[in-house]
Amino acid sequence: MADVNDKPTALTATHTRPKVVEVPRPTPDQQVFLRSTNLRPGPYDHNVVVGGPSRVRRPTA
Amino acid sequence: MWSDLAVVGATVACSQPYSFYFDLIEKVWKAKGTNNLPLHRLCTLARKQGARTIVLEPASRLEHVKHEIDVLDRMYGGGAGGGAAEAVSISFFDCDIVDDDDLGDVPNTAFLGQAIVINYRPPESADFTISYVFEGILPPPSLSRDNGHRFLLNNYLAAHREHTCEVRGRPFSVQGVYYCQQNSNTHVCAHACLRMAMRTTTETDLTAKQINDLLGITPPCEGLSLGQIVQVIEHQGLEAEVTDVKDDLKYLSVLASIVESGDLALLVFTTGNEAAAGQGQSEEHVVLVYGHTRNSDEWHPQAIPVYAGPGSAEYLPASAWIDHFLIHDDNLGPYYTLGTQALERDPDVKPHWIIAIREKATGLTAMGAEAIATVMLTNMLPVLAPSSNGRWFDYITQQPWRYVLRTILMSRDDYITHLREARGHDETAATEEELEPLNALPERLWMVEFSLPSLFTGNRAKLGEVLLMADPDKPEDIDDVFLGLRLPNLLVVKDPATKTMLQTDCSLQSHSALFRRTTCGVEW
């Protein structure tokens, strides 16, 4: 195993890269999680009525 | 036409033993038994801010007040034998004013704000039946006003705006979040929240009548549909994003992402009351959310963490440290803090809808962005481990951690500026050349900051960001959504031509400050 000190650092690198990086595939549990997450906004029922007249009255004991 | 009932102007010392209860509210609130809590709240805030003088004067001379009463009177038949109204403006000052004519000497900093109360008596009625706070303009509560605005500890505001109030002909300006109360007739809480939001985020002085005219509603009003709310927002040149958060504790993260991105939200929750329309539906109330508080000493995020994400990529939402959202409730008044546990206290009072008000709606939800970010971060860091070295680089690439994730919607230009200005804890910084690949990013993106609990709470700092498309055609295609990643020493950005991820060096080698869209005062 290479010593970590052999690796380039940002300060010592010569910027001869960019280097292509492979993106790993999500694991099975990650795929399940992503499928269960609402990625797209909505949908919603446009006709749901909210915020009717207030029923708050002056509170008394 | 309604009769404009005389209001006698007065300048009144309101320090102890003056009673806002008996000497003010009892006198100016004419419709007995109606909800005067908002005026109590405004007086409470003025008292806490050190009010010493109030100036009372007729308000029906103001065009927008006159217009409001016209609309109300028309609903009751109006005409020659219209109703009667009196409108009074109540201006609060934190200095003594003894002479009615000396307002010219009063500094603007002494002005605490203004409330306008409208009392209305319908035709044929002997009594006032409607009283409400037509508008209330106060600055956010502050600890000290000596050096300008200093918000309360750890209060973060997504938006506020300068408002001008006239007191005896002299304009006073105040920075704040506009407040108004519904009158339950020509407008309800949905109207009030839309007015509050628009008058805080835009230069438009949106009125309830404009809302009703746009939607073709003839008062009395029975609430607005979600579609109508969205229509009003879009008519103002903005866009709305509606999220159903019923039975979903993630509503805290959704709200957090909206206000941390500098946007406002309407939060709709059930009340347990049956809707007037019947059919067993619960009535739902709307409040305006314009900010949050954060408790960096909060115990539970680390002691009894509720991790989000899949087992292989768990994370801590940054919202776990948010302990309140800052809200205006038209029924209760302005500048309340809604505890994050508040909507768990009563099974009938539960969050249901969140409506984000943005310049442009997104094609990927904040929760989706956070989910993809934790997966990408978890999977990418080990892959990148051989590419560089450094204290923080090694720390995060050689061992998996459960990161704190904070999800912000922002422009590419703001992101580049943010990184250009970022300075590491070790004083390192990215160079212009290193930031060049970021110009290939789309115009708008989700930036999901990742941090560790101690850095997040102590340094208010992060280790990097995951970058994701805000407007993807196919949010399910995470290869398409994933735009890049920055961590100490490295920048990974997608090449738009080849769709490959290209890794380059970045001289920013340590943790750096979190991005700020909100305004805050004293922080801990």
DSSP letters, A8-52, are --TTT------EEEPPPPPPHHHHHHHHHS--S-----TT-EE--
Q: Which residue has the tokens 């008394």?
A: A60
Query: How high does pLDDT run on average in chain B?
Result: 93
The pLDDT of residue B146 is 59
Query: How close, in Å, is residue B501 to chain A by CA atoms?
Result: 5
Residue A19 carries which side chain, given as an amino acid letter? Answer: K
Digit-coded pLDDT (tens) for B388-431 = 889 999 999 999 999 999 999 999 999 999 999 999 999 999 99
Q: Which residue has the tokens 């708008």?
A: B444
Q: Which two tokens stand for residue B439?
A: 């110009």
Which residue, among B268, B260, B243, B62, has the nearest Cα to B166 in the 3D structure? B62
Contacts made by residues B378-383, CB under 8 angstroms, sequence distance 24+? B378/A30, B378/B312, B378/B313, B379/A23, B379/A24, B379/A25, B379/A26, B379/A27, B379/A30, B379/B313, B380/A21, B380/A23, B380/A24, B380/B485, B380/B492, B381/B487, B383/A21, B383/A22, B383/A24
The pLDDT of residue B399 is 94
Digit-coded pLDDT (tens) for B320-361 = 999 999 999 999 999 999 999 898 888 888 999 999 999 999
Lowest mean pLDDT among B24-33, B93-102, B327-336: B93-102
Q: Residue B221 and residue A5: Cβ atoms within 8 Å?
A: no
Q: Which residues of A touch B277 (CB under 8 A)?
A: 49, 52
Q: Which two tokens stand for residue B440?
A: 């290939």
Query: How close, in Å, is residue B88 to chain A by CA atoms?
Result: 20
Q: What is the distance between the alpha carbons of residues B136 and B58, in angstroms, rounded to a whole number?
A: 15
Q: Tally C-beta pairs within 8 A across A and B.
A: 214
Tell me how far the alpha carbon of residue B460 is from its chain's centroid.
21
CB atoms under 10 Å from CB of B180, counted, come to 26
Q: Which two tokens stand for residue B515?
A: 């991005």
**Residue B69: helix, strand or coil by DSSP?**
helix
- Is it the case that residue B145 has pLDDT exceeding 70? no
Residue B344 carries which side chain, given as an amino acid letter? Answer: E
The pLDDT of residue A51 is 86
User: E strands along B302-386, which residues?
Assistant: 315-317, 322-329, 333-339, 351-358
Q: Does B477 touch chain A (CB under 8 A)?
A: no
Q: Kindly report the CA angle at B134 between B133 and B138, in degrees rounded to 5?
A: 75
| CB-neighbour burial class of residue B36 (10 A; exposed 0-12, middle 13-18, buried 19+) | buried
Q: Does B222 touch chain A (CB under 8 A)?
A: yes
**Among B226, B367, B376, beta carbon nearest to A45:** B226
The pLDDT of residue A57 is 64
The pLDDT of residue A2 is 45
Name the pairing type of β-strands B403-411 and B315-317.
parallel
The pLDDT of residue A8 is 63
Most A CBs within 10 Å, among B246, B362, B388, B396, to test the A interface: B388
- Is it the case that residue B99 has pLDDT exceeding 90? no
Q: Which residue of A has its CA nearest to B219?
A: A53
Q: Does A7 touch chain B (CB under 8 A)?
A: yes
SS3 readout for B144-178: CCCCCCCECCCEEECCCEEEEEEECCEEEEEEECC
Digit-coded pLDDT (tens) for B494-518 = 999 999 999 999 999 999 999 999 8
The pLDDT of residue B102 is 73
Helix axis angle, B226-235 to B208-215, nearest 10°: 110
CA B109 vs CA B114, B135, B139: distances in Å: 14, 20, 11
Q: Residue B368 and residue A9: Cβ atoms within 8 Å?
A: no
Strand partners of residue B11: B55
Q: Which residues of A touch B368 (CB under 8 A)?
A: 37-40
Q: Does B476 touch chain A (CB under 8 A)?
A: yes
Neighbouring residues of B501: CB distance < 8 A, sequence distance ≥ 6: A20, A21, A22, A23, B482, B484, B492, B493, B494, B495
**Among B33, B223, B375, beta carbon nearest to A52:** B223
The answer to whether the CB of A52 falls within 8 A of the CB of B331 is no
Q: What is the distance between the alpha carbons of residues B126 and B130, in angstroms, rounded to a whole number?
A: 12
Q: Which residue of B has its CA nearest to A46?
A: B227
Q: Kindly report the CA angle at B111 between B105 and B117, in degrees rounded to 5?
A: 120
**Among B225, B310, B384, beta carbon nearest to A32:** B310
Most B CBs within 10 Å, among A14, A40, A49, to test the B interface: A49
Interface of B with A in 77-116 (CB under 8 A): none
Q: What confidence tier does B280 reach under pLDDT thresholds 50, 70, 90?
A: low
Digit-coded pLDDT (tens) for A2-61 = 454 556 665 555 455 689 999 999 999 999 999 999 999 988 999 999 987 887 766 654
Q: What is the distance between the alpha carbons of residues B23 and B49, in angstroms, rounded to a whole number?
A: 19
Digit-coded pLDDT (tens) for B384-399 = 999 988 999 999 999 9
Q: Does A22 touch chain B (CB under 8 A)?
A: yes
* Overall average pLDDT of the B468-476 stretch: 96
The pLDDT of residue A1 is 44
- Is it the case that residue B433 has pLDDT exceeding 70? yes
Digit-coded pLDDT (tens) for B44-75 = 999 999 999 999 999 999 999 999 999 999 99
The answer to whether the CB of B269 falls within 8 A of the CB of B351 is yes
Q: Does B69 touch chain A (CB under 8 A)?
A: no
Q: What is the distance between the alpha carbons of residues B491 and B512, in angstroms, rounded to a whole number?
A: 15
Q: What is the distance between the alpha carbons of residues B334 and B156, in angstroms, rounded to a whole number?
A: 15
Q: Does B277 touch chain A (CB under 8 A)?
A: yes
Q: Does A58 touch chain B (CB under 8 A)?
A: yes
Instruction: Output the pTM of the full model.
Output: 0.94
Neighbouring residues of B422: CB distance < 8 A, sequence distance ≥ 6: B429, B430, B508, B512, B513
Q: Residue A51 and residue B224: Cβ atoms within 8 Å?
A: yes
Name the pairing type of β-strands B315-317 and B444-451.
unpaired
The pLDDT of residue B481 is 97
| Percentage of the residues of chain B whose pLDDT score is greater than 70 | 97
The answer to whether the CB of B177 falls within 8 A of the CB of B325 is no
Q: Which helix (H) or strand (E) holds B374?
A: helix B366-384
Q: What confidence tier does B274 reach under pLDDT thresholds 50, 70, 90?
A: low
Q: Which residue of A has its CA nearest to B504?
A: A18
Q: What is the dihedral of CA B171, B173, B176, B178, to 10 degrees?
A: 20
Q: Does A12 touch chain B (CB under 8 A)?
A: no
Q: Which residue of A has its CA nearest to B480?
A: A23
Q: Does B214 touch chain A (CB under 8 A)?
A: no
The pLDDT of residue B277 is 52
Q: Residue B509 and residue A10: Cβ atoms within 8 Å?
A: yes
Neighbouring residues of B327: CB distance < 8 A, sequence distance ≥ 6: B267, B287, B288, B289, B290, B336, B337, B338
Neighbouring residues of A6: CB distance < 8 A, sequence distance ≥ 6: none
Q: Kindly report the CA angle at B162 between B8 and B359, in degrees rounded to 5?
A: 130
